[in-house]
Chains A and B, each alone.
Chain A
């Protein structure tokens, strides 16, 4: 299985900050990398697919980068509604695997 490792596991930030979350695959996954946001008690929401493409309706302050094995999610100006847990996931090959999550806290 492809192992996905996110860093950091948790992150404290303030409204208006710029934050970056990293995700590393232990094998080549091209750009088959997705980022999800999950708020407490809710289902995950797809933010970015194909490493860099924003899902419809996702604010432009979210951006993704990377290819191969190293990826990142950047939120340019944190808003109160962005405090959540973020997961990366590879869809290069089955079994699809997720990172362990990054909890973004105020």
Chain B
């Protein structure tokens, strides 16, 4: 069974750093891009970008470039989403998702990680 399991909810202060994780299992982790998607409270879905586990090739949404970074550790089939300096506007649910190369859809999703940034 394909699964993406994300790390738990986080509460942080503005200016702090954060790294959340997404561990894949049940499929060839190195064969699929991992995407990150943001959902702000009560709002729609926004694509942050993708990372490929083989060579860490990254594609960022220009709207988010410089605000977040992606990394991956193939040895533990885990992808990460990093912030160097959090802002209150980063408060959202963040999903990881597998990008299916056939349908070019996000066919499996993690359960989401709620990030709350508040002073």
Interface residue ranges, A against B (CB under 8 Å):
1, 32, 34, 36, 38, 43-46, 49-50, 53, 55, 87, 89, 91, 94-101
User: With the chains together, A101 CA to B112 CA distance in Å?
Assistant: 18
Q: How far is the CA of A87 from the CA of B43 in the complex (A)?
A: 11
Is A97 a contact partner of B104 (Cβ separation < 8 A)?
no
Interface-side segment among B9-17, B44-52, B77-85 = B44-52
A91 to B44, CA, bound (A): 17
Do A46 and B47 have beta carbons less than 8 Å apart? Answer: no
Contact between B112 and A97, CB atoms less than 8 A apart: no
Query: Which of A1, A43, A97 is within 8 Å of B95, CB to CB?
Result: A43
Indicate the member of A1, A43, A94, A97 with the most B CB atoms within 10 Å: A43
The 4 closest A-B pairs by CB, nearest first: A49-B103, A43-B109, A91-B104, A49-B105
State in angstroms the CA–CA spacing of A49 and B109 once bound together: 15
**A96 neighbours in B (Cβ, 8 Å):** 35, 47, 61
Asked if B59 CB lies within 8 Å of chain A CBs, one says yes
Interface residues on B, range: 20 to 34
6 example contacts (A-B, Cβ-Cβ < 8 A) are as follows A34-B104, A44-B109, A46-B107, A49-B100, A49-B103, A95-B49
Within 8 A of A (CB), among B8-55: 35, 37, 44-47, 49
Contact present for B44 and A101 (CB under 8 Å): yes
Inter-chain contact B110/A43, CB cutoff 8 Å:
yes
In the complex, A95→B104 CA distance in Å? 13
Given contacts A34-B104, A46-B107, 11 further A-B contacts (CB under 8 A): A36-B106, A38-B45, A43-B110, A44-B37, A45-B109, A89-B45, A91-B104, A95-B63, A97-B47, A99-B44, A101-B45
- B106 to chain A: which residues have CB within 8 Å? 34, 36, 44, 46, 89
B62 interface hit (Cβ, 8 Å): yes
B103 pairs with A98, CB closer than 8 A: no
Check if B111 is an interface residue, CB within 8 A of chain A. Answer: yes
